[in-house]
Amino acid sequence: MRGSLSGGLPTLVACNRIRELDGLRGLAIAMVVFYHYFQGVMAVPPGSALAYLQAATRLSWTGVDLFFVLSGFLIGGILLDSRDSTNYYSVFYKRRFFRIIPIYLVTLVLGAALVSLRLGPTSGASRWLTMEGAPWYAYLTFTQNFWMAHAGSIGSNGLAMTWSLAVEEQFYLIVPLYIRALSRRWLARFLVIGICSAPLLRTLLLRFASDTSIGTYTMTLCRADALLLGVLAAVLLRDDRWRERIRNASIAFYISIPVLLLGLGVLTLRAWNPAASLLKTVGYTWVALFYVTILLFVLRRPDSRLTKILRMKWLCWLGTLAYGIYLFHTGVQYLLFGLIWGRGATIKSIPTLLVTVAAVPLTLLLAMLSWRYIEQPLIRMGRRSNFEFGTAETLETPPAGVRLVYR
């Protein structure tokens, strides 16, 4: 699993930072790392306290869906505000290149180096760092999610999480065209159709195709509902009437959030596995609806307790480092288990737990170094290109009433 990837990436700010978005990104990466490091690999006695904790956190992997919602919102906002610029495509893709590609290539090189070490056995379930994942050309072209769907396997090496980055890259190729070409009204209609089409497509695949668990999990059209819900949120917050409706929708928030939480409880109990039919049909959309509702709530309720929690320094710090953490964390985990135990990550005892615990600060250290010496300088380089509108105005001046955060 791996979400997003760039979906949870550090932000650059055109006007000022919205710390609650950094906090949401920090929450997303904390959920993903918790799932990969602890929840998904821990073998615990049935009926124990740890077993109940493990059951309660079954949906922590949906941090990747939160990344998707955030990506849709942030990238959609950038494109909406620059749609009339004369250099719309060139600046957008130049900034995306500097933000995503260099550190991703570094990750691929490190992955190739780890594969060459051949740590641990090379047969059966222990082939955790060999090429049972997608071939290298798939990673280089951001098509590993297609390969995973075709192979019926997410792969078990340290690059398996990059499927969500592939989803986002494919999203970046398509959505700018629609935002540029369509009016706001028709764009909103297109987004609603796309959001509704994703669960319909997953349902059709479940009904007429065989073994579609990986495909419904990794294919862009199957996961478009989360991304497009984020874009729709960006559209609504740029419309005066809808912005006021959302600001004044206290009752709607206080009804919808508990209802959506109740649905998440049902999914946690009965359909937490991505292979579950309920999750593959409407479950992913339900999860995305919950996250986009939380996103709108914290943006329009700056004084709420939840918003203040999301502004905590440690969460915002994690949000800043999220892209590096996302790319490095499984590789670090598997490397340590390979060097010490000669196998993949499974927590069965205190010593194996300590190995996973040791992977946390090592991952954070690598992410900090990456942010300081690779990502930040390249982001600044990308920001040298500004959107131009035929006048002296650039995107650095946002529309009235809208606070913007750019990544």
List, for residues 138-191, the tens digit of each pLDDT value.
Answer: 899 999 999 888 888 877 667 888 999 999 999 999 999 999 999 999 999 999
The 10s digit of each residue's pLDDT in 93-115 is 999 999 999 999 999 888 777 66
pLDDT-above-70 percentage for the chain: 85
The 10s digit of each residue's pLDDT in 343-356 is 778 888 889 899 99
Give CA–CA dist 363/366, Å, rounded.
5
DSSP 212: -
CB contact at 8 A, 44 and 54: yes
Looking only at Cα atoms, what is the longest distance across the chain?
67
Please report the pLDDT score of residue 130 as a whole number: 47
The 10s digit of each residue's pLDDT in 290-338 is 999 999 999 999 999 999 999 999 999 999 999 999 999 988 988 888 8
Rounded mean pLDDT of 222-243?
A: 96
The domain segmentation of the chain, as residue ranges, is 5-382
Using H for helix, E for strand and C for coil, what is the string for 134-173?
CCHHHHHCCCHHHHHHHHCCCCCCCCHHHHHHHHHHHHHH
State whether the Cα torsion 52-356-127-64 is positive or negative.
positive
Residue 134 vs residue 25, higher pLDDT? 25
Please report the pLDDT score of residue 3 as a whole number: 40
How far, in Å, are 33, 200, 320 from residue 139 at the CA level? Answer: 21, 28, 24
Question: Which residues are CB-contacts of 125 (< 8 A; sequence separation ≥ 6)?
Answer: 156, 344
5 pLDDT higher than 90: no
Which of 73-87, 106-120, 305-319, 367-381 shows the lowest mean pLDDT across its residues? 106-120
403 pLDDT higher than 50: no
233 pLDDT higher than 90: yes
φ, ψ of residue 123 to 5 degrees: the values are: -135, 160
> Which band of pLDDT confidence, cut at 50, 70 and 90, is reported for residue 13?
very low
Residue 403's region, left for phi above 0, alpha for psi from -120 to 50, else beta, is: beta
Q: Which of 64, 7, 69 is nearest to 30 (CA)?
A: 64
Which of 5-14, 47-56, 324-333 shows the lowest mean pLDDT across its residues? 5-14
**Mean pLDDT for all residues in the chain:** 86
Give CA–CA dist 322/220, Å, rounded.
21
Rounded mean pLDDT of 238-263?
A: 94
Half-sphere exposure of 395 (CA within 13 A, CB side): 26
Please report the pLDDT score of residue 335 as a whole number: 85
Q: Determine the Cα angle at 278 with ends 54 and 150, to 5°.
A: 90
Q: Which of 29, 3, 37 is nearest to 336 (CA)?
A: 37
Q: Which of 239, 225, 165 is nearest to 195 (CA)?
A: 225
Looking at residue 66, its amino acid is L
Q: What is the pTM of this model?
A: 0.89
Looking at residue 52, its amino acid is Y
134 pLDDT higher than 80: no
Please report the pLDDT score of residue 390 as a whole number: 74
395 pLDDT higher than 60: no
Looking at residue 336, its amino acid is L
Please report the pLDDT score of residue 53 as a whole number: 86
Please report the pLDDT score of residue 117 as a whole number: 65
Q: Determine the Cα angle at 236 with ends 279 and 4, to 5°.
A: 45
Give CA–CA dist 308/310, Å, rounded.
5
The 10s digit of each residue's pLDDT in 185-199 is 999 999 999 999 999
CA dihedral 125→128→134→135, nearest 10 degrees, is -120
